[in-house]
Amino acid sequence: MLMRFGVVDDQDDPIITLLNDKSLTLSEADFFKQFKSTNAVKSGDVLLFVHGFNVKFEDAVKRAAQVSYDINPDLQPVVFSWPSIGDPLKYNRDFGRALDSIDDFEKFMLKLAASTQGKRIHILAHSMGSKVVIPALGKLYSSHSKLLDKKLGNIILAAPDFPRETFILKYKAAFSKFGRATIYMSSEDKALRVSSSTYLADREMLGFSGSDGFFFPGIDSVDITHAGGVDDLLGHSKYGSSARVLVDMHDMIGSNLRANKRKGFIVVPPYKYFFLQP
């Protein structure tokens, strides 16, 4: 069963949906009651997926289910869905909607953490989803660091559409202290090339590895440029289309290993920057 919590445009209350053979809209209390029930019988941890730009709800659910199953069928997938318009020409409007969802994600994380029963929450944020996750976790670390240390597993930022300079100035310290953060980046990510020049006056994005600013102590910086990927013409969705990246996430989550302990990497000195081999 895949569970989805999200903010829907033009509604004051979040819509909460359970997906199995059909969709059900539940109250928040019933959602977490059902989550606890499912969490109690699932043997694996929780994988919380936050989608990116131009992703409709149905597509986010399909991707979360696919990635979760490919990483480990025992994981309990949960989707936090922010209200993307689902139009490739509406980048700026999606940008605003992602920012408007930060507080909702922060509140949801606290409730989700309180509902897990001895299991960790692994977060996978793709693309513009990082604009929701990074600021929210930064705020939570300053106010609930003990809870995060206890409940959070791995934080995976896949092709993060987030200004690198802003991350360094405001959030690098918090994410370094987590000790379990990974950034998947690529020098051939065409989508991030466009977003960096369209909206933010050529500010380089965190998921683009085309500079020397990729190393952050305490954070695994993994270049997946040559990791392959099926039907990924933009080079922006390797986290879900590359078998090699999926295997790496399996090793990361299943064995709780940092990149320097996992297989298949070339380490680039002196930065300890990791290239994932095909």
Q: Give 48-74 pLDDT, tens digit per residue.
A: 999 999 999 889 988 999 999 999 999
d(CA 8, CA 82) in angstroms, rounded, equals: 7
Which of 227, 168, 157 is closest to 192 using CA atoms? Answer: 157
d(C-alpha 99, C-alpha 168), whole Å: 18
Please state the CATH superfamily assignment of the domain spanning residues 2-276 in this structure.
Alpha/Beta hydrolase fold, catalytic domain (3.40.50.1820)
Q: CB under 8 Å to 152, separation ≥6 — which residues? A: 113, 120, 121, 122, 123, 178, 180
Model confidence pLDDT, tens digit, residues 161-177: 999 989 999 999 999 98
Average pLDDT value for residue range 259-278:
82
Q: How is residue 231 written in tokens?
A: 């039907």
End-to-end CA distance of the chain: 32
- pLDDT: is 235 or 110 the higher one? 110
Q: What is the mean pLDDT of the chain?
A: 85
Question: How does DSSP assign 140-160, residue by residue?
Answer: HHHHHHHHHHHHEEEEEEES-
- Residue 46 near residue 120, CB atoms below 8 Å: yes
For residues 208 and 185, the answer to whether their CB atoms sit within 8 Å is: yes
Each residue's pLDDT tens digit, 6-43: 554 444 443 344 445 556 777 888 888 888 888 877 77
> Comparing C-alpha atoms, which of 76, 77, 65, 140 is closest to residue 109?
140
* Separation of alpha carbons 201 and 16, rounded Å: 37
